[in-house]
Structure 1
Amino acid sequence: MKRHLLTCLVFLLWSPCLWAQRVQYTTERPRVEDVNDEDVTIQRVELTEQYTIIYMKFRGSGSRLGQRLGPNLGGTNNIGFQPSSRLYVNQGERSFKLVRAENIPAEMRRRVDPGEEVDFVAYFERITPGYTVFDLFECKDYVERGDRIICFNFWGVHITNPERKPKDTYAQRTPRPRPLPPVQSKPNPQPRYQPRNTPGLDETPAKPDVGVAPVAVAINGLTRDAKTRRPVAATLTYRLISGAEAAGDSPADSVRSTLPGGNYKIPIETRGVYAVTASAKGYFSQSDTLATNRTAVTRDFDLVPIAAGSKITLRAVYFNVSKYDLKPESFPELDRLVGVMQENPTLTIKLEGHTDTVGDFDANVELSRNRVDEVKRYLVSKGINANRIETIGYGPSRPINTNKSLKERPENRRVEMVVVNV
């Protein structure tokens, strides 16, 4: 009897834990876009009803002396996991706190010798169903008592986490009997059958089938001088690049903005994402991608004049994470810059590269320099004289915002162009 009671007690104590740990989705070795410390990897991500469980492995390679190492430790590592760690989704739209970590301390005090491997687990709050990519941000690299600490940060971790399907509660309801309508006596009751006046035609005319008229959608706005804010007559070129009825090869079309107001309107017949470019003589062109759905889209284009000292951000220039290889999506923007420099043969420019503040300062400066050099190589390959292009990499030293949130960080990763001479 006592043994039976003891078994029941143990089962009751463990049942909540077992229920909480029931795995809903598992992602083995998830794809990770970028990692801050290459000595740590994510082995598996499990999603339960309560937690996001991340299984990680640290390998003491001994190759990062002076980073996560002490100066007198002879090549050993001291590892830990910060209690302030968070998971972020959709560029910081939502965050999920660390609940606990197992087999790794909350402070930098566990020693790992070269060649040693440490498996540890981090329990976070459950990521909302539907978010399939997250960033793990442990901390920002820092120096502690002369030792440089590299944080376990991962960017773009892809997992299986589908949205929850709404439960069909209608079938579970017990329908209530509807009360019968009260019987009203009629002074002159009509016969059930009324003869028709014309064979085959009903006396009562049928109601016309009135459908809902589609809502007219357009992209509209103003084209102005970025410095004087005065209206400018410009050409707006647009093309459907993605959507339910788009294959990405739709032909381009254009409209003109009119003076005196600088107004333009692009009528939208097929919903989707459009690439729109505003261009005017004497100005640098400006591009944007705009999604059209059920309502009109307003986008004003403030065009920068081609004059000494003018600066613009080349927004449509893209690189792979932590690399300086140009993505093919960058070519249209750079080709437009080539056209401007060909139309203005005395124009000289300076390309300035910038990064966010995450990671090593010197490495970010080098990355920004390599990126603008790569842009210069592309322009030269299109026939622009190399002497007309200067390059400089500032790294993270000139942020345009506080750089504290994941939503702000991409704004600091940019290439800017300054007009040196016209």
Structure 2
Amino acid sequence: MNRRLRLLLVLLLAASGLRAQVQYTTENPRIDDINDRDVSIQRVELTAQYTIIYMKFVSSERGSSRRSFPFSIPMPNGRGQQMESTNNIGFQPTSRLYVNQGERSYKFVRAENIPLETRRQVQPGERVDFVAYFERIDPGYTTFDLFECRDGGGYICFNFWGVHIINPLKKTYSQRTPKPQVQPRAQQPRYIPRTSPGVSPPASTPPVTPPKAEPAPAPAAVAINGITRDAKTKALLGATITYRLISGAESVGDGPADSVRSNKSTGAYTIPITQRGVYAVTASAKGYFSQSDTLATNRVALNRNFDLVPIEAGATITLKNIYFNVSKFDLQPESYPELDRLVTVMRQNSTMTIRLEGHTDTVGDFDANVELSRNRVNEVKRYLVSKGIDAGRIDTVGYGPSRPINTNKSLKERPENRRVEMVIIKV
């Protein structure tokens, strides 16, 4: 009986360890690319020990999806037999999480509600919710890739590229109240008893006071440097550079913005960095579209040049900070600052009319991608109209995958083709 109680206690302690207190939760994280459209990530939880990924698999109603074999099998009589299309899902224990282009990797620990390897058959239309546990991603990495395996032999892997999560750096401040430093008492001469009447023995030699420690040298100065110029003529110009610390060990992302001016004749600017972390930087000048970037400062100075596009008929701008969920057209909140800057430009140029052009990568059905690109630019237009811009000043067109800007062969190139561009029709 005692052995059973001990075993039950061990199991309860193990279960409580796996379900430790969650530090950060990301619901429906933004994902740059997915290998299998039938699986999705519902939530990512970070505990002190694990990265926990909650996923959902919905078998395609048409019966051909992940682990399926809808092809003819040669028979001994020379005839082919069509094998029934089924799905057999599992999760590979060799899967890994990767951050920063493979700089670090994190091992798979365990899975719930899905077998390892390939053993569970799923019927068309059936839904399977499962959980995968990995080693804890180090604080500060806010994007990771989940690489389960390589496709092959009719097996489509659960691979996700560019999963964006909440995972700030840990603060290094100590929570304990430092103890007051007590000055050591000067050592008194050791008493030596008299050996002769009326004669005092000599006192022992007092200790030598150690030299004071030299103060540590101040850390090297860090700055963001660069130039601002006209993107069309490459002429140097003066601009306002606005910057704000959005994350770091000494910030929670709610600090005030500050700004500097670039030199009108040389275009040079310098942003002094007193708190190291990630900064949002925007360059703007009258008669030009503003340009933004996110820059991480560490121990060396950064160089970032800004080429500003003039506001004139025929100019084309790629709205780089516009985000949608995979295969959907709902605008993500991260898109609002970029669109708000466009609203400001259109208010300042009250006669300007534009055309929004939507583009996708070449993966998937052509007609479906054209419709998706059209819906996305219409969603952008609805946002601009909701901010007071006349709908008659905005045209929209969806080109789908017909105008890629690269070969679209690698997973790194595909996000570049999924874009929204703005063309100025009239100023």
Alignment TM class, shorter chain as reference: 0.5 to 0.7
Tell me, in whole angstroms, the C-alpha distance in 1 between the residues paired with 2:415 and 2:342: 22
Q: Which amino acid aligns with 1:262?
A: G
In the TM superposition, what is the alpha-carbon distance from 1:151 to its structure 2 partner? 4.6
Q: Does 1:407 align with 2:412?
A: yes
Can you give the 5+ residue segments of structure 2 that lack an aligned partner in the other structure? 1-16, 20-25, 42-54, 73-80, 107-115, 129-133, 166-202
Q: Which amino acid aligns with 1:336?
A: R
Q: Does 1:258 align with 2:267?
A: no
Q: Any idea what SS the aligned residue of 1:404 has?
A: coil
Query: Would you say the 8 A contact 1:36–1:150 is kept in 2?
Result: no
Q: Which amino acid aligns with 1:343?
A: Q
Q: Which amino acid aligns with 1:259?
A: K
Q: Which amino acid aligns with 2:85?
A: N
Q: Any idea what SS the aligned residue of 2:307 has?
A: strand
Q: Does 1:370 align with 2:370?
A: no
Tell me, in whole angstroms, the C-alpha distance in 2 between the residues paired with 1:116 and 1:249: 44
Match of 2:295 in 1: 290
Query: Would you say the 8 A contact 1:76–1:114 is kept in 2?
Result: no
Normalising to structure 2: TM-score of the pair? 0.62
Matches within 5 A, 1:238-257: 238-257=243-262
Query: Would you say the 8 A contact 1:318–1:329 is kept in 2?
Result: yes
Q: Relative to structure 1, is the Cα distance of residues 137 and 345 closer, same or farther in structure 2, using a 3 angstrom cutoff? A: farther
Tell me, in whole angstroms, the C-alpha distance in 1 between the residues paired with 2:83 and 2:344: 54
Match of 1:45 in 2: none
Tell me, in whole angstroms, the C-alpha distance in 1 between the residues paired with 2:401 and 2:100: 19
In the TM superposition, what is the alpha-carbon distance from 1:115 to its structure 2 partner? 7.7
Tell me, in whole angstroms, the C-alpha distance in 2 between the residues paired with 1:115 and 1:300: 51
In the TM superposition, what is the alpha-carbon distance from 1:274 to its structure 2 partner? 0.9
Q: Relative to structure 1, is the Cα distance of residues 151 and 116 closer, same or farther in structure 2, using a 3 angstrom cutoff? A: same
Tell me, in whole angstroms, the C-alpha distance in 1 between the residues paired with 2:419 and 2:86: 35
Match of 2:145 in 1: 134
Q: Does 1:77 align with 2:85?
A: yes
Matches within 5 A, 1:384-403: 384-403=389-408
Task: Work out which of the residue numbers 281, 284, 291 in structure 1 matches 2:286.
Answer: 281
In the TM superposition, what is the alpha-carbon distance from 1:328 to its structure 2 partner? 1.6
Q: Any idea what SS the aligned residue of 1:337 has?
A: helix
Q: Relative to structure 1, is the Cα distance of residues 388 and 69 closer, same or farther in structure 2, using a 3 angstrom cutoff? A: farther
Match of 1:22 in 2: none
Tell me, in whole angstroms, the C-alpha distance in 1 between the residues paired with 2:86 and 2:375: 33
Tell me, in whole angstroms, the C-alpha distance in 1 between the residues paired with 2:280 and 2:158: 34
Q: Relative to structure 1, is the Cα distance of residues 113 and 377 closer, same or farther in structure 2, using a 3 angstrom cutoff? A: closer
Q: Relative to structure 1, is the Cα distance of residues 113 and 242 closer, same or farther in structure 2, using a 3 angstrom cutoff? A: closer
Deviations 1:365-400 (A, max 9, x none): 222221111111010011111111111222222222
Query: Would you say the 8 A contact 2:100–2:144 is kept in 1?
Result: no
Q: Any idea what SS the aligned residue of 1:418 has?
A: strand
Tell me, in whole angstroms, the C-alpha distance in 2 between the residues paired with 1:57 and 1:416: 33
In the TM superposition, what is the alpha-carbon distance from 1:403 to its structure 2 partner? 2.6
Tell me, in whole angstroms, the C-alpha distance in 2 between the residues paired with 1:313 and 1:115: 39
Q: Which amino acid aligns with 1:222?
A: I
Q: Does 1:211 align with 2:216?
A: yes
Q: Which amino acid aligns with 1:346?
A: T
In the TM superposition, what is the alpha-carbon distance from 1:319 to its structure 2 partner? 1.8
Q: Which amino acid aligns with 1:89?
A: Y
Query: Would you say the 8 A contact 1:233–1:262 is kept in 2?
Result: yes
In the TM superposition, what is the alpha-carbon distance from 1:259 to its structure 2 partner? 2.4
In the TM superposition, what is the alpha-carbon distance from 1:213 to its structure 2 partner? 1.5
Can you give the 5+ residue segments of structure 1 that lack an aligned partner in the other structure? 1-24, 43-55, 105-109, 119-126, 142-148, 160-192
RMSD: 5.1
Match of 1:340 in 2: 345
In the TM superposition, what is the alpha-carbon distance from 1:86 to its structure 2 partner? 9.1
Normalising to structure 1: TM-score of the pair? 0.63
Q: How many residues align?
A: 336
Tell me, in whole angstroms, the C-alpha distance in 2 between the residues paired with 1:366 and 1:150: 29
Tell me, in whole angstroms, the C-alpha distance in 2 between the residues paired with 1:207 and 1:58: 66
Q: Does 1:89 align with 2:94?
A: no
Deviations 1:213-238 (A, max 9, x none): 11111111000110111101100111
Match of 2:190 in 1: none
In the TM superposition, what is the alpha-carbon distance from 1:266 to its structure 2 partner? 0.8
More deviation, 278-287/393-402: 393-402
Identity %: 59
Deviations 1:117-143 (A, max 9, x none): 99xxxxxxxx999589434487899xx
Tell me, in whole angstroms, the C-alpha distance in 2 between the residues paired with 1:134 and 1:235: 36
In the TM superposition, what is the alpha-carbon distance from 1:350 to its structure 2 partner? 1.1
Q: Which amino acid aligns with 1:275?
A: A
